[in-house]
Amino acid sequence: MAATLRDVADHAQVSMRTVSNVVSGYTHVSEKMRAHVLRSIEELDYRPNPVARTLRTGRTGVVALIVPEIDVPYFSALARDMINAAATFGYRVMIDQTGHDHERERDLLTGNDRTMLFDGILFSPLVTKLELLEMNSPTKMPLVLLGEHDFDGRYDHVAIDNVRAAQDAVQHLLDRGRTRIAAIGAQPLEQYATPQQRSAGYETALTEAGIAIEPELVREAEHYSRADGYDAATALMALPERPDAIFCFSDLLAMGAMRAVFDAGFSVPEDVAIVGIDDIEEGRFSRPSLSSVSLDTAFIAERSMERLAARIDDPDRAPEQIIAPHALRARESTAIAQSP
Amino acid sequence: MAATLRDVADHAQVSMRTVSNVVSGYTHVSEKMRAHVLRSIEELDYRPNPVARTLRTGRTGVVALIVPEIDVPYFSALARDMINAAATFGYRVMIDQTGHDHERERDLLTGNDRTMLFDGILFSPLVTKLELLEMNSPTKMPLVLLGEHDFDGRYDHVAIDNVRAAQDAVQHLLDRGRTRIAAIGAQPLEQYATPQQRSAGYETALTEAGIAIEPELVREAEHYSRADGYDAATALMALPERPDAIFCFSDLLAMGAMRAVFDAGFSVPEDVAIVGIDDIEEGRFSRPSLSSVSLDTAFIAERSMERLAARIDDPDRAPEQIIAPHALRARESTAIAQSP
């Protein structure tokens, strides 16, 4: 007959609660006790019924990671790091992608999602600040926000200094002697936080350098995809006065933009220097390799998972705002300085 | 007070079982009945307790997708399609990556994983056929295998014809007049199925063309990464007799190989034509764009999810073997034919 939780407790001469805590992976069990109980679990070949355990503990051992698109390299790298970070806290990760579905995001944030079977949410949302402030019943589910929304400090929040990251990217182009610097990735005002903040960094860098913002050099992109970058750069290279540099709000936009510059008959970095944000591996092997602002996805994953695990254990703790480091990686796509 | 399942059943004048079926997303409820019950759920603002529901139905509404590495573009594209396909069957997807951890894979396959809280598994395994045949207690969990293992027809299985895909890639290089064709991605015999089958396709194509297999042109790669491709191609370009084409067992290997050929001072496709397998988006924007064998991830996702949902509903049905289509996409990296 299959061994029960009670059998394990009897065998290990501990309480059923202790066995349950070990099985649930709770961190407050001492390493020595854990090893002791695990020996009994092994010897009796005890297989906990996960559903019964869930009902008993009220916990699933699963956290949800919500991203707009899992096949965007930045998010798949984040997911990789998040799965690893979650494992160190004894959690598994369920990944959901919202696409560009605001309703789905709102359902998750308001707890209207009726199938939630996880203990907490790591959420990289697209929804606008305005929409979130209007939500009358935010979720009771432990929640850590990733990315640029701060939601008035109501939630734990891990993000980079997005304005500064954009400013650093544009300053790098200025340092290379570029003066006619375009931007790809802007979006209509008041919609999403990321493009707003990156636009602000772009404008600050140019303004501090005494360069006027030229609206024709600022291009919108809907999905931050290679195709969006390609289309926007194609339009830029067709201008009577072409840019001598392009700051792309993501590396995927930059990969598309580089290809467009070549297809228009120009060279990177000789004619047009290009810099992105994300530092995805693709950009280290592309020709030319892509200069980019590196975001520390491992740091973001570890700190946000640590925050979420703490909040699951203590829902009433005060929210924290954590800024992840970023760093410019100069590569071939900005290698050549132009003389003034 | 919060509405209960009974309140909804009373309000809708249906059985509690019908409400439960609607909440669980079972497909055998008529659309009319579903709409009727959902109206009562809305009116009473009924929020099912997911854990209690799970215990009641014995189902979680979650399927696990197990891949070696989520940040490999092929797997993140597959995950994207799988999440979409699962949604059409009323399932959410929990993603787990095994890394290169055989123990973890075995635990999942044998049901030794002690935290399983899902109804079925979509499994893209690395473990060797030999190891699997030796497993004395395969999992009772509904399981669909993706990729090249067939496990003697014991499981539902969705895969491409891997030997044929490799053969088609090499034939494409032969059609371009290349004769000294290298391969990157081989692995020691008897270890994994994918490299074995792709090696077999490579050898068949060359043999049929009357070209002898030269061991120095066949290079191993451990992780099918850009870095592996870079290192292997660097070694190939240093040979006294260089190859005039390289067949890479994955597109990521090919992206690294292209960069290595350039860094060695040669051109793609002029000096070396390159073809990969996977047809990842990155290869459509790279310079040159990458010829590749396209695998239909949407087809793989839809058919495997459909198989898994059917098996969850009826564990005793006979396993099916499904072959997904593939197609060569010729691009710039093989654009130039060489005269003999």
Q: Are residues B217 and B303 in the same domain?
A: no
Strands A120-123 and A218-220: unpaired
pLDDT confidence of residue A150: 60
Whether residues B135 and B167 share a domain: the answer is no
d(CA A5, CA A37): 11
The pLDDT score that the predictor gives to residue A196 is 87
Task: Check CB contact under 8 Å for A73 and B69.
Answer: no
pLDDT of B159 higher than 70? yes
Is residue B56 domain-resident?
Answer: no
- Determine the distance from the C-alpha atom of residue B34 to the mean position of all C-alpha atoms in its chain, rounded to a whole number: 34
User: Is A94–B92 a contact, with Cβ atoms under 8 angstroms apart?
Assistant: yes
Residue B130 pLDDT grade (very low, low, confident, very high; cuts 50, 70, 90): low
CA distances from A109 to A64, A121, A328 (A): 12, 9, 33
Whether residues A263 and A199 fall in one domain:
yes
Whether residue B142 is predicted with pLDDT greater than 60 in this model: the reply is yes
pLDDT of residue A18: 84
- B68 and B136, same domain (yes or no): yes
DSSP structural state of residue A339: P
Q: Among candidates A161, A286, A114, which has minimal Cα distance to B23?
A: A114
Q: Note whether A35 contacts B: Cβ–Cβ < 8 A.
A: no
Residue A113: predicted pLDDT:
54
Does B85 contact A at CB distance below 8 Å? Answer: no
Task: Give which of A19, A21, A95, A224 to mutate to test B binding, by max B Cβ within 10 Å.
Answer: A95
Q: Do B52 and A55 count as a contact with CB atoms less than 8 A apart?
A: yes
Give how far B256 is from chain A: nearest CA, Å.
6
Q: Is residue B316 part of a domain?
A: yes
Domain residues for A9?
Answer: 5-57
A264 in contact with chain B, both atoms CB, cutoff 8 A: no
Angle CA A201–A296–A178, to nearest 5: 35
pLDDT classification of B51: cutoffs 50, 70, 90:
low
Outline where DSSP puts E strands in chain B: 62-67, 92-97, 120-123, 143-146, 156-160, 181-186, 218-220, 245-248, 273-278, 291-295, 321-324, 326-329
User: CB of B93 within 8 A of CB of B113?
Assistant: no
ipTM: 0.81
Of A80, A86, A53, nearest in space to A67 by CA: A80
CB contact B70 to A (< 8 Å):
yes
Spans of chain A, pLDDT less than 50: 114
A219 and A319 in a single domain? The answer is no
pLDDT digits (tens, 9 = 90+) for A177-194: 999 999 999 887 556 778
Using a CB–CB cutoff of 8 Å, tell me whether B87 touches chain A. Answer: no
Domain membership flag for residue A227: yes
Q: What is the CATH number of the domain that holds A41?
A: 1.10.260.40
pLDDT (average), residues B151-173: 89
Contact with chain B for residue A52, Cβ under 8 A = yes
Same-domain check for residues A262 and A217: yes
Q: What is the pLDDT of residue B114?
A: 46
Contact residues for A58 (Cβ-Cβ < 8 A; gap 6+): B51
Pair B180, B277 in one domain: yes
Q: How many CB atoms lie within 10 A of CB A151?
A: 18
pLDDT tens track for B214-265: 999 999 998 889 999 999 999 999 999 999 999 999 999 999 999 999 999 9
B79·A92 Cβ contact <8 A: no
Q: How far is CA B98 from the centre of its chain?
A: 13
| pLDDT score at A278 | 95
User: Does residue A172 share a domain with residue A136?
Assistant: no
Mean residue pLDDT of chain B comes to 86
Nearest Cα neighbor of A293 from A205, A192, A189, A179 is A205
Q: Are residues A204 and A284 in the same domain?
A: yes
Is the CB of A83 less than 8 angstroms away from the CB of B94?
no
Query: Regarding predicted confidence, which is higher, B196 or A45?
Result: B196
Q: How many domains does chain A have?
A: 3
* A176 & A283 share domain: yes
User: Cα separations (Å) of A320 from A67, A79, A153, A307?
Assistant: 21, 22, 8, 8
* Cα A248 to Cα A255, A285, A287, A330, B288, distances in angstroms: 9, 18, 17, 14, 21
A100 lies within 8 A of chain B by CB: no
Degrees to nearest 5, angle at CA B46 with B43 and B47: 145
Instruction: Answer whether residue A339 is part of any domain.
Output: no
- Does B52 map to a domain? no
Q: How far is CA A307 from CA A142, A156, A314, B214, B301, in A?
A: 10, 7, 10, 55, 34
B54 touches chain A (CB under 8 A): yes
Residue B333 has pLDDT above 90, yes or no: yes
User: By C-alpha distance, which of A115, A111, A114 is closest to A142?
Assistant: A111
For position B289, which CATH number holds?
A: 3.40.50.2300
Q: Is residue A265 part of a domain?
A: yes
Rounded CA gap, B72 and B69, in Å? 6
Is residue B55 assigned to a domain? no
Q: For the ranges B10-24, B66-80, B141-155, B210-224, which has the lowest average pLDDT?
A: B141-155
* Angstroms from A99 CA to nearest CA on chain B: 10
A87 touches B at CB < 8 Å: no
Question: Which of B46, B95, B116, B121 to substitute to test the interface with A, most A CBs within 10 Å?
Answer: B95
Q: Is the pLDDT of residue B148 over 90?
A: no
A to B CB pairs, distance under 8 Å: 140
Half-sphere CA count of B136, side-chain side, radius 13 A: 0
CB B299 within 8 A of CB B139: no
Per-residue model confidence (pLDDT) at position B102: 73
Round to whole Å and give the CA distance between B60 and B54.
5
For residue A140, what are the CA distances in angstroms to A23, A116, B41, B42, B312?
A: 25, 12, 20, 19, 32
- Name which of A211, A201, A182, A212 is nearest A274 in CA terms: A182
How does pLDDT run across B3-35, given as a tens digit for each residue?
A: 777 888 899 999 888 887 777 666 677 888 888
Q: What is the pLDDT of residues A59-76, one digit of tens each?
A: 778 888 988 889 999 999
Q: For residue B275, tell me if it sits in a domain.
A: yes
Give the nearest partner residue to B95 out of A71, A77, A93, using CB atoms. Answer: A93
Judgement on whether residues A127 and A24 belong to the same structural domain of the protein: no
Asked if residue B213 and residue B309 are part of one domain, the reply reads no
